[in-house]
Structure 1
Amino acid sequence: MEAGYCLVLAKYENQINVFSDFLDELPDSAEPVWILGQCYDVKTEKSNLLSDISSRLWFTYRKKFSPIGGTGPSSDAGWGCMLRCGQMILAQALVCQHLGREWRWHPESKHPAEYHRILNCFLDKKDSCYSIHQMAQMGVGEGKSVGEWYGPNTVAQVLKKLAVFDDWNSLAVYVSMDNTVVIEDIKKQCQKAGPDSRPCAGACGWGEFSGVSSSSPFRPLSHAHSYISPSWRPLLLLVPLRLGINNINPVYIQALKECFKIPQSCGVLGGKPNLAYYFIGLIGEELIYLDPHTTQSALDAEQGSYVDDLGYHCQRSPHRMKITSLDPSVALGFFCKTEEDFDSWCDLVQKEVLKKRNLRMFELVEKHPSHWPPFVPPTKPEVQTTGAEFIESTDKLFESEEEFEILNV
């Protein structure tokens, strides 16, 4: 394992700094750059900005992996871009859970075992819990054939269903319905049996050591008062929305921009016609995103081993697009490691995203609506198998949710 790590390092020894022209791609503006809840000054915080962007896990099209389902496609080029974006938003939540938002990737550094374990969750193998194989086949239960393009809501539903089989992360994935986030339902899904809360040890929350810029209008609670509760499962909150008919309604733009400034921001799934992107930030009236539309060869890595991770971090100039070009079908993402984080998120969303708008992007309510069916948290079916075989046997256990997307590839 150590020898493999040294071999990877050797590949980077003579690497040219591909970030040297980074700022030529960004406007010379006094506008702050927001990346997943953190604020940067383009002129004075160049290296920190570059490090943050390159530290996000970047999943792209891959080729030459084992055929999906045994006889299906061995590449997702042309159809898997939204699935890859779904992998990225989930990976961001796992990095925050295990490594913290302040963690940074460097190609020359040796990284924690948790980092490599996270990467292993997404390898292009049928036995990786969030592989393209698992996601594509779980999508069959959402009415999507393997090889068919997905939209933000469908990917959100797939992530929710796969997460119940992931015992290591024990992540609660909540997907809102009917543009409504229900606090009572989220707390029901995230709570589990356990002892009382205990003080947090180390960098494990959105506290003062999380790396959030002092210029942020959203100051998280003090790290000294952050707690981890053994009875609370970390939360990935996904909010599928339709913000217009054919184009995004301008009335929603400012609220959408505010979402990238919240410390719990985990990005946005979306894109424009024929293209899916993972949006991680903004500058002025432009969104910054990671683009999955690059085809790389699948890695032939053993499960549990260190991964040659150079292809999992985008070291190119950041892509940008005008926010007015965004397709109206999106899914907002937020990560709350603790119940305190979630309570803070609720306060920030009410004050900064919802109350200041004439037309709200979504509703945040305390109680489960009485006219809705009872809320039942997703649980693991009683199936004694794993991998693709398990997915094929459980497809019919799940009902499809309403689609929001209109994008097509």
Structure 2
Amino acid sequence: MEFFQRVSQQLFELDNTDTQHELVILGETYAAVDKNGAQPEIETTTGVFGQMFGKDRGWNSRFLASVRKLLHFTYRTKFEPIPKDPAGPSPMNLGTLFKDNPLNSIESAINHPDCFCSDIGWGCMIRTGQALLGNALQRLRNMAGANDACERETQIIGWFEDRYAAPFSLHNFVKEGAKLSHKPPGEWFGPSATSRSIQSLVHGFPACGIDKCVISTDSADVYEEDMEPIFAKDPNTVVLLLLGVKLGLSKVNARYWDDIRHILKSPHSVGIAGGRPSSSLYFFGYQDEYLFYLDPHTSQLDLSSLDSSQEKFNSVHSQRFNKIHFSDLDPSMLIGVLVQGLTDWEALKSDVSWSQIIHVSPSRPQNYFLEDDGVVSESDEEEEPPGARNSTLGGEYIDVIAPMDQQADRYATDDDFQDVQCKNQNILVVGDEDSTSPDTEVERVLVGQETVPLALPPEPQQPATAPVCD
């Protein structure tokens, strides 16, 4: 079985054709190639497979080892059933049938016709959110010391198994999504719904090692007045920041490319989820103008069904990754930042002092407040309808049958609107859906210079009349 897994990975592994630019992965930097010219150790195999395994892919072996350490979560099948919502999507659809083993789909349809036993086609944003959270926990595991590192990682992997008993399972993401973001099972998540679910699950499971999760669903603004009381209470508090941003209208402007590089090169970064038209990916590094990512759009059997710890380890670790050019990114994404205490917080503030994406300010504007659960929200004088608060109109990440490259072509227009100057505005995007529905979200979008308001027509002047005398 291990041999065939290696064959599958080698068939799709990426060649490195850039021998000049450094390789960056979540705060670690490597030369484009091994300085001593050494290549990764590969088992000797004869024949065609031997030539395939022995092919020089051109990557730095230390970089590949770091990629292999990352937690990678993908679609799963035949997991513990998730009951459908009467008003939600149906578990039975042709997309799932063609993207999974048909026997699995037929078995699930017969045994659990009203339940989801796979997240194929709708769970990609949840899976990349799990990757962001999982690699944050990995960072804490590495800080704990090498003696219990293997045992700690086995424990972390178990937290993400696809069953309700696992604290960070897809099942519990869906459960929290229904409660906090009005997302029924089978419906695609956006960055805001994902961040709300992560926050709730982290706060409900303090044993994970993250003490506080602070999210901003409409910007990457962080306020000292919110963070400093946390560290005043305990200077060793571990805080996970989840920052939902939309860096443009249809694509990420080139002026933000350096900022994204800087975020991923920071030792505080735990990755970025989202950022691909119609599909969510987990971005963990870059080389020059290309971002590296792990793709959740492959299916595997339920993680909890695997027999051994080694099988589970191999199932969530892969040396198979891909890359995408900055110009092909969708602007809606979720940025993860891990702050390990007061000293780390001071270092982060210095690290992002010039950033056009992440802003640390002493206090928020008067119309913003931090709720008890750590969500940065906007306060309006008028009463908001139920469910409208704290929601943003983020892009939903869906898995479509059409090739993703074709989808990217749709964003070639409206380039003139991308010359942004990092001005935060509240923009309501009105689509075909009813703007009062819970899915209507308002995002803080970085737009160009000053936004000129539409002039309202002048009020009609009443003709002057002579006073009427009795």
AA in 2 matched with 1:366: P
Over 3 Å counting, the alpha-carbon distance change for 1:293 and 1:23 in structure 2 is closer
Provide the residue aligned with 1:258 in structure 2: 262
1:112 CA displacement: 2.2
1:324 aligns with 2:365: no
Provide the residue aligned with 1:183 in structure 2: 224
1:72 aligns with 2:115: yes
Provide the residue aligned with 2:280 in structure 1: 276
Question: Aligned to 1:117, which of 147, 152, 155?
Answer: 155
Whole-Å Cα distance in 1 between the matches of residues 28 and 145 of structure 2? 10
Question: Aligned to 1:127, which of 165, 169, 178?
Answer: 165
AA in 2 matched with 1:133: H
AA in 2 matched with 1:72: C
1:404 CA displacement: 2.3
Look up the SS of the partner of 1:331 in the other structure.
strand
- Residue by residue over 1:102-133, the C-alpha shift from the partner in whole angstroms, topping out at 9 and shown as x without a partner, is 98xxxxx9952111111111000111111000
Whole-Å Cα distance in 1 between the matches of residues 153 and 160 of structure 2? 12
Question: Aligned to 1:363, which of 347, 359, 363?
Answer: 359
- How is 1:100-111 mapped onto 2 (pairs within 5 angstroms)? 100=143
Larger Rg: 2
Over 3 Å counting, the alpha-carbon distance change for 1:328 and 1:117 in structure 2 is same
1:291 CA displacement: 0.4
Instruction: Return 168-177 or 183-192, whichever deviates more.
Output: 183-192
1:373 CA displacement: 3.1
Provide the residue aligned with 1:47 in structure 2: 61
Paired residues of 2:192 and 2:217 also in contact (CA < 8 A): no
1:165 CA displacement: 0.6
Provide the residue aligned with 1:311 in structure 2: 315
Question: Aligned to 1:404, which of 394, 401, 414?
Answer: 394
- Residue by residue over 1:7-27, the C-alpha shift from the partner in whole angstroms, topping out at 9 and shown as x without a partner, is xxxx75998598879996122
Over 3 Å counting, the alpha-carbon distance change for 1:311 and 1:267 in structure 2 is same
Over 3 Å counting, the alpha-carbon distance change for 1:185 and 1:35 in structure 2 is same
Instruction: Return 330-339 or 300-309, whichever deviates more.
Output: 300-309
Greater relative contact order, per chain length (Cα 8 Å cut-off, separation 6+) = 1
Paired residues of 1:183 and 1:365 also in contact (CA < 8 A): yes
Whole-Å Cα distance in 2 between the matches of residues 168 and 283 of structure 1? 36
Look up the SS of the partner of 1:350 in the other structure.
coil
* TM norm structure 1: 0.73
Over 3 Å counting, the alpha-carbon distance change for 1:170 and 1:43 in structure 2 is closer
Instruction: Return 22-31 or 162-171, whichever deviates more.
Output: 22-31
Provide the residue aligned with 1:138 in structure 2: 176
Paired residues of 1:236 and 1:333 also in contact (CA < 8 A): yes
Question: Aligned to 2:124, which of 78, 81, 86?
Answer: 81
- Residue by residue over 1:278-313, the C-alpha shift from the partner in whole angstroms, topping out at 9 and shown as x without a partner, is 000000100000000110000345999786321110
Whole-Å Cα distance in 1 between the matches of residues 26 and 244 of structure 2? 18
> What percentage of residue pairs aligned between the two structures are identical?
27
1:239 aligns with 2:243: yes
Whole-Å Cα distance in 2 between the matches of residues 81 and 402 of structure 1? 19
* TM norm structure 2: 0.64
AA in 2 matched with 1:82: M
Question: Aligned to 1:149, which of 183, 188, 197?
Answer: 188
Whole-Å Cα distance in 1 between the matches of residues 270 and 295 of structure 2? 16
Paired residues of 1:190 and 1:235 also in contact (CA < 8 A): no
1:153 CA displacement: 2.1
Over 3 Å counting, the alpha-carbon distance change for 1:139 and 1:376 in structure 2 is same
- Counting matched residue pairs gives 333
Whole-Å Cα distance in 2 between the matches of residues 244 and 405 of structure 1? 12
1:248 CA displacement: 1.4
1:375 CA displacement: 4.1
- How is 1:366-405 mapped onto 2 (pairs within 5 angstroms)? 366-378=362-374, 400-405=390-395
Look up the SS of the partner of 2:272 in the other structure.
strand
Look up the SS of the partner of 1:340 in the other structure.
helix
Whole-Å Cα distance in 2 between the matches of residues 14 and 177 of structure 1? 42
Instruction: Return 337-346 or 360-369, whichever deviates more.
Output: 360-369
Instruction: Return 307-316 or 258-267, whichever deviates more.
Output: 307-316
1:363 CA displacement: 2.5
Paired residues of 1:36 and 1:266 also in contact (CA < 8 A): yes
Paired residues of 1:247 and 1:324 also in contact (CA < 8 A): yes
Q: Stretches of 4+ moved more than 4 A in 1?
A: 11-24, 189-193, 301-307, 396-400
- Residue by residue over 1:353-404, the C-alpha shift from the partner in whole angstroms, topping out at 9 and shown as x without a partner, is x2xxxxx22432122433323542459xxxxxxxxxxxxxxxx999652232
- Residue by residue over 1:177-215, the C-alpha shift from the partner in whole angstroms, topping out at 9 and shown as x without a partner, is 54211122123346646xxxxxxxxxxxxxxxxxxxxxx
Paired residues of 2:124 and 2:398 also in contact (CA < 8 A): no
Q: State the superposition RMSD in angstroms.
A: 3.2
